[in-house]
Structure 1
Amino acid sequence: MNNHEIDYKLYGDDMQFVEVELDPDETVIAEAGSLMMMDEHIKMETVFGDGSGAEKGGLMGKLLGAGKRVITGESLFMTTFTNQGQGKKHVYFAAPYPGKIIPMDLSELDGKLVCQKDAFLAAAKGVAVGVEFQKKVGAGFFGGEGFIMQKLEGDGMAFIHAGGTMHKMDLQPGETLRVDTGCLVAMTRDVDYNVEFVGGIKTAMFGGEGLFFATLRGPGTVWVQSLPFSRLASRVFAAAPQGGGKDKGEGGVAGLFDLFGGDR
């Protein structure tokens, strides 16, 4: 194993968090803002890039690796958590919104997983978090979630997050699945991926499902989510009162603020 070997335990159902168990000198890397709590004698450190040590070429290599992370909309920095005490210690990471945390053993996935740009939560030290550029031009211009995706490479454990309910599908050679671009969470390296127009002017304009969908062709494994965060956010925004009204009879976000804040 080139990556650190970590043990874990998942808690909860729809609002999950993961407990990562670290032996002395073991390290886990995570996205900034995902920490929930940690034991004493855990050293937390912010590092440039993905913390995997895979960047080559000194400073320029690190700058290139960090720049790729910026392309996916992530931070230039990652956070590492290292057990510097005696005995086993624990670090806990929480999901950013309702859904499922999915443990992925990269050693069982041929060393690589391609996932949506905001799906990564945490991983054992040594897992490289990079950028996967799709070769298809259609995917690049119209994919939304598709053209620039993250790739996780290594042979250790990684944890990704999906909104709502997660469903895993094994595609046979030549088998095709059409998925809303926002519902695609992750796929193995052998899955052929492209983005296609839904067809039909009336369907595109009035169908309410977006203009494009992802076409996934096997062999390989695909993970999809029932509630992309973008869909949840759009519904919350649509339900929010417009114009700053504070009618007590209104539902939505304004009513929620009044419930907790009240008028004094």
Structure 2
Amino acid sequence: MAEYDFEITSRPSYSLLKINLKDQEIMTETGSMVYKDNSVNIETSAKGGVLGVLKRAVVGESIFMNKLSGSGRIALAPGYSGDIVHHELNGTLYASSGAYLASSSDLSIDTKFGGGKTFFGGKGLFLMKIEGSGDVFLSSYGAVEEIDLNNESIMVDNGNLVAFTGDLSYNLGKVGGLKSTLLGGEGLIYNFSGTGKIYIQTRNIESFIDFITPYLPTPKQG
């Protein structure tokens, strides 16, 4: 059962997370608050101390987090268009860079190397590791789809991965083929196997950046 009284509105393109706190507290990504009642307190801190700051910087998240506490209404949203999904955690969840929005205040949050025998570079090498029992809210670029594996295996593009449960085995690798050949490089993919859940996003923000870059104005020379 969810810890918070919440609803997600304006789905799936411009989702807004509304929570009615009842003498509770919740951790949120900085910059995600849209509004709050004046009865709700807000405190900004660097969770995990100096080491936590360094780890969050590596994974691409804000080095600070907000703790909202008390009783009243709050609303949260990510900085880009897309969906929000709720995950009821009882164990371990790994989230990709930028996917974390909010969570129960007593959950443990750390950073884990995403895998791979060599340093490929780019998004996805480091994952946010969330452990414990409670609520986790994730954001996506595009809509969120859930994939349930039952002693199965699947390949997911790194740029479309949102999160996955810790009971899955995984490794990060390169993939070639026509698409990567045309783009002049190789993509990164996650290979998953076992039984568990994967959250994917229907759009890839890196592909979107590649799409719009040729249309951006360039600085004039001289």
TM over 0.5: yes
Task: Tell me how far 1:209 sits from its aligned partner.
Answer: 8.2
C-alpha change, 1:236 and 1:199, in structure 2 (3 Å) is: closer
Task: Tell me how far 1:146 sits from its aligned partner.
Answer: 3.0
Task: Tell me how far 1:143 sits from its aligned partner.
Answer: 6.7
C-alpha change, 1:209 and 1:160, in structure 2 (3 Å) is: farther
Residue of 77, 81, 90 corresponding to 2:68: 81
Residue of 152, 161, 164 corresponding to 2:139: 161
> 1:23 matched to which residue of 2?
22
C-alpha change, 1:161 and 1:209, in structure 2 (3 Å) is: farther
Provide the rounded CA distance (Å) in 2 between the counterparts of 1:190 and 1:82: 32
Task: Tell me how far 1:230 sits from its aligned partner.
Answer: 2.4
Match status 1:46 vs 2:44: yes
> 1:152 matched to which residue of 2?
130
Matched to 1:197, the amino acid is K
* Higher alpha-carbon Rg: 1
C-alpha change, 1:157 and 1:203, in structure 2 (3 Å) is: closer
TM (normalized to structure 1)?
Answer: 0.75
Residue of 35, 45, 52 corresponding to 1:37: 35
C-alpha change, 1:228 and 1:70, in structure 2 (3 Å) is: same
Match status 1:10 vs 2:32: no
More strand by share: 2
Match status 1:105 vs 2:88: yes
Matched to 1:31, the amino acid is E
Instruction: Using the aligned pairs only, state the percent identity.
Output: 28
After superposition, what is the alpha-carbon deviation per residue over 1:70-102, rounded to whole angstroms, capped at 9, x for unaligned? Answer: 22122322111111xxxx411110122121101
What 5-or-longer segments of structure 1 have no aligned partner?
50-54, 56-61, 245-264
> 1:252 matched to which residue of 2?
none
Provide the rounded CA distance (Å) in 2 between the counterparts of 1:162 and 1:204: 24
> 2:158 matched to which residue of 1?
181
Matched to 1:133, the amino acid is F
What 5-or-longer segments of structure 2 have no aligned partner?
none
Match status 1:213 vs 2:220: no
Matched to 1:17, the amino acid is L
> 1:52 matched to which residue of 2?
none
Task: Tell me how far 1:208 sits from its aligned partner.
Answer: 7.1
> 1:63 matched to which residue of 2?
50
Provide the rounded CA distance (Å) in 1 between the counterparts of 2:77 and 2:115: 33
Task: Tell me how far 1:65 sits from its aligned partner.
Answer: 2.3
Provide the rounded CA distance (Å) in 1 between the counterparts of 2:125 and 2:217: 34
Provide the rounded CA distance (Å) in 1 between the counterparts of 2:184 and 2:157: 11
Task: Tell me how far 1:243 sits from its aligned partner.
Answer: 4.4
* Root-mean-square deviation (Å): 2.4
Q: Size of the alignment, in residue pairs? A: 219
After superposition, what is the alpha-carbon deviation per residue over 1:112-166, rounded to whole angstroms, capped at 9, x for unaligned? Answer: 110102100111211222112235425xx23733321111112111111011121
After superposition, what is the alpha-carbon deviation per residue over 1:39-85, rounded to whole angstroms, capped at 9, x for unaligned? Answer: 11111111121xxxxx5xxxxxx2222222122122322111111xx
